[in-house]
Amino acid sequence: MKTKFVSVLVCLLLMTTVLSLGKPIEKETIYPEIHDSSSESFNVDVPVWHTGNRWSYEIKTLTLDIEKANQSYQITIGAENLTLEVVDVASDTYTVAFDTKMFGNASISYKLEEGFINITANLNDTKLAGIIVYNKSDLGIRQVKIYLTGRLHAQITELPVISLSRPISIRGEANISLIADYDVPYPLITFPLDIGTFWGRPAINISLDGTIQSLWLKRMNIINNIARRHWRFVEFLTKIMGIDSVSLRNMSDICYDILPIIKIGYVLNKYLTGNIFKIAEIPPIFICTGTEDVTVKAGTFNAYNISVGIGQGNIYYAPNVGNIIKISGHFTNAFPYARAFEIQLIHTNFP
């Protein structure tokens, strides 16, 4: 049986995991106590966005803690200025462009039949850009395109095929493009919004595709091709070094198949579990508990307080801003694997 994972897929797994993995949630409806901070209450409909509307956010913390069969990920990212701008308004959709410089780190562990692969990685001076296509009727997300460019520093601390005396260090520029298509529009907030409104989210499927390009991947492809042309000599060396030549050959076959440019959809379908990811249904744990004045770096706004679960966290939506102004808390049950969020609005030109 072929080995299902190689080190060159680290970036792929990191990106696809952040956007697409889901886990079942107990179907338990939670009704937090409603505290109406304002005596005035009215139905807030879907905001109307126009070309050129912008919202800039500070992401202090976004922590993901993922545990699945034979694999685990701990990911922390942040960004000083994530800007969203409406760049196109169609008859039934908004297209919103986003860009930011981000930083972060990750720890990845993956178990194979032969043993564990353990990797740590850091992203520095990384540019994240792309577009989000929203449904006009409910602000449900239809599609996300992500382009990630930055310097990756990774260390492989454990491999099942080779006994490492010290970590293998990998440094280099990486370019990742990722496309996520939602089978049904997926809104975060249910409109019309009013105090006492509560909701959950249906199960959805997300299909992933894209590419990963890097000078390091090109070099690895060249080295692998040279090794394959002199495989008898490689087998001789592996026997001296006590390396399993069969496992090494399997890894070489995979590298030959997917390099130098990794096609995400192809790799997911052939070597992993497919490029269709299921997000589990979320029961009614979102509830609008009231309105209050909320101060963020962009100013003070009257916002609807959306409680998530029992004290897990809060989402604040301000009608005058036409968008969310703050998210804070721990959202394990609402957003699968998300351990912590801390996001706030720092600037907007919304009228």
Name which of 259, 204, 178 is nearest 15 in CA terms.
Answer: 178
User: In 3-state terms, what secondary structure has residue 25?
Assistant: coil
Q: Tokens in use for 115?
A: 């043993």
Amino acid, res. 240: I
DSSP 136: T
pLDDT digits (tens, 9 = 90+) for 177-201: 989 999 988 888 999 999 999 898 8
Burial environment of residue 103 by CB neighbours within 10 A (0 to 12, 13 to 18, 19 or more): middle
More confident residue, 122 or 11: 122
- Cα angle for residues 326, 329, 332 (degrees, 5° grid): 125
Return d(Cα 143, Cα 140) in angstroms, integer.
9
* Residue-level pLDDT at 55: 97
Q: In this structure, are residues 308 and 51 in contact, taking their beta carbons and an 8 Å threshold?
A: no
pLDDT digits (tens, 9 = 90+) for 51-89: 999 999 998 767 766 666 676 767 777 777 899 999 999
Q: In this structure, are residues 79 and 101 in contact, taking their beta carbons and an 8 Å threshold?
A: yes
pTM: 0.76
pLDDT digits (tens, 9 = 90+) for 318-351: 999 999 999 988 766 555 555 667 899 999 999 8
The H-or-E segment that residue 228 falls in is helix 215-229
Return d(Cα 92, Cα 133) in angstroms, integer.
10
* Residue-level pLDDT at 303: 96
pLDDT digits (tens, 9 = 90+) for 205-223: 888 898 988 888 898 899 9
More confident residue, 46 or 247: 46
Q: In this structure, are residues 298 and 347 in contact, taking their beta carbons and an 8 Å threshold?
A: yes
Is the pLDDT score of 13 beyond 60? no
Instruction: Determine what percent of the chain is predicted with pLDDT higher than 70.
Output: 80
